[in-house]
Amino acid sequence: MNLEASLVGLLINDPAAIDSVRIEPEWFEDPTYFKIVKACKDTRAKGSYEDLVTLGQRFPDQVATLVELSKNAPFRVDIIPYATLVQEEFIKRQAQRVGQDLIQTQDIEGVFKASNDINQLLEGSTPQTSKTLLELMNGALERIKDTSMGAPTGNSVLDGVLNGLKGGDLSVLAARPAMGKTAFAIETAVASQSKGRVLFFSLEMPSDQLIKRLWVNTREVEMKEVFSSSPDVSKLQKAMIKSEGYKIEVLEDYVYVEDIASKVAKESRKGDVSLVVVDYLQLAKTRQKTNNREREVGEMSWSFKMIAKKNNLPVLLLSQLSRAVESTETKEPDSHHLRDSGSIEQDASVIIMLYRSVVYGIQEDGEYFDLIKVTKNRNGETGRIKGSYFDGRYQSWSGSFKESKDVPF
């Protein structure tokens, strides 16, 4: 569920929550949610509450939607953070509109009008909210001015599209098994550690195996050699020397998302953290128990989004894809193939997918091909990067590009 749907679902399940938090219909892009929230507000003004039953009677053509919102609403969570984020998204949209008007204006009257529009955004807010909105507007302006690279992935084409992984954003890296997710994550960690410490939460792979993959990434030793029973010791020594200065902290004793959040907050306060990597979502757990797996994964996805936002750090969250992708003709993944929860797609600012046609024996123009696919990019372009390929010897997605007619960026 997206933010708006989650907030409306919470309101349906707890009608009295409308007394504890400010929620305005205008904040909602979806016209259905606008109508539901307006009805709740109007009824409360008359001294009563709307619930699932009364809303169903009021909007009989929306009963299925109302039931779905109620069923998929976040479980046992505070409504206030959701309301705050929906309000912030509304302010961002309005600020963007005002900013575009300001850029296009050619006279001083236009500047005053834009200024007046900004003031109107802030009217009617509580003092605490006014401060938050002013900070939000200033922050948005600073981000527009800031063209510096975020945490690099190591893939020059992808970094050109995304301008790196940005602080405060949840980026999801997804693929089916054997596509090179962990290799891509390691490569991103190596590229980003030049900007600061990388916290690498390895929920799947033991730390000693991850360290060996870091050695492989140095290109001093191949994958088959590092896991050989009789490796070339001189090559291993070169790889060890080359990687010993990496500012990558491998953390394998963290499973619960709440513990990961505490660790990131603690390390963030120390400073010099450039990136957080979590490998991978479906192996994480939460102490907020529910019998609904989709809801559980959705809650964890939301938690990782909050980790990025609260610490202003880029979080690269690895995720599995459902088997449904393999029932398609091309086997090429898209965002709706994310496993266990549609919330992942909603929570992510960026979604990157990996695909290697050789795994399925599929060729294009008589050749196998590897693909990096940006299926979501909240602040930029999406598309296929078919010019890169996966080098299995060094577990690398970076640095080698073929001529390709299918690079749309």
Domain boundary assignment for the chain: 1-146, 156-385
pLDDT at position 117: 53
Task: Give the list of residues 6+ apart from residue 341 with CB closer than 8 angstroms, or none.
Answer: 294, 295, 297, 298, 301
Collapsing DSSP to helix, strand or coil, 316 comes out as strand
Full-model pTM: 0.68
Query: Would you list the DSSP string of 91-147?
Result: HHHHHHHHHHHHHH--SHHHHHHHHHHHHHHHTT--HHHHHHHHHHHHHHHHHHH--
Evaluate if residue 67 carries a pLDDT over 90: yes
Q: What is the DSSP string of 226-266?
A: HTSSS--HHHHHHHHHHHTT--EEEE-S--BHHHHHHHHHH
User: How far is residue 405's CA from residue 382's CA, in Å, rounded to a whole number?
Assistant: 16
pLDDT in tens, 44-60: 999 999 999 999 999 99
How confident is the model over 217-232, as a mean pLDDT?
88
Compare 257 and 76 and report the one with higher pLDDT. Answer: 257
**Which pLDDT belongs to residue 104?**
58
To the nearest whole number, what is the mean pLDDT of the chain?
Answer: 83
Distance in angstroms (rounded) separating the CA atoms of residues 330 and 190: 32
Residues sharing a CB contact under 8 Å with residue 218, sequence separation 6 or more, in sequence order: 238, 239, 242, 243
In sequence order, the β-bridge partners of residue 352 are 173, 374
Q: How far apart are the C-alpha atoms of 89 and 186, rounded to whole Å?
A: 32
Strand positions, DSSP E, 124-230: 170-175, 197-202
Rounded average pLDDT over 188-200: 95
Most confident segment among 74-78, 298-302, 303-307, 385-389: 303-307
Domain 156-385 has CATH 3.30.1490.20: no
* pLDDT confidence bin for 238, thresholds 50/70/90: very high
Backbone angles phi, psi at 402, to 5 degrees: -95, 160
Section 383-393 average pLDDT: 80
Which among 327, 329, 383 is positioned nearest to 352, based on CA atoms?
Answer: 383
CA distances from 76 to 10, 53, 261, 288 (A): 9, 21, 18, 8
pLDDT for 400: 43
Same topology for domains 1-146 and 156-385, yes or no?
Answer: no
Least confident of 121-135, 206-220, 294-308, 327-341: 121-135
Per CATH, is 1-146 categorized as 1.10.860.10?
yes
Yes or no: say if 348 and 173 are a contact pair by the CB < 8 Å rule. Answer: no
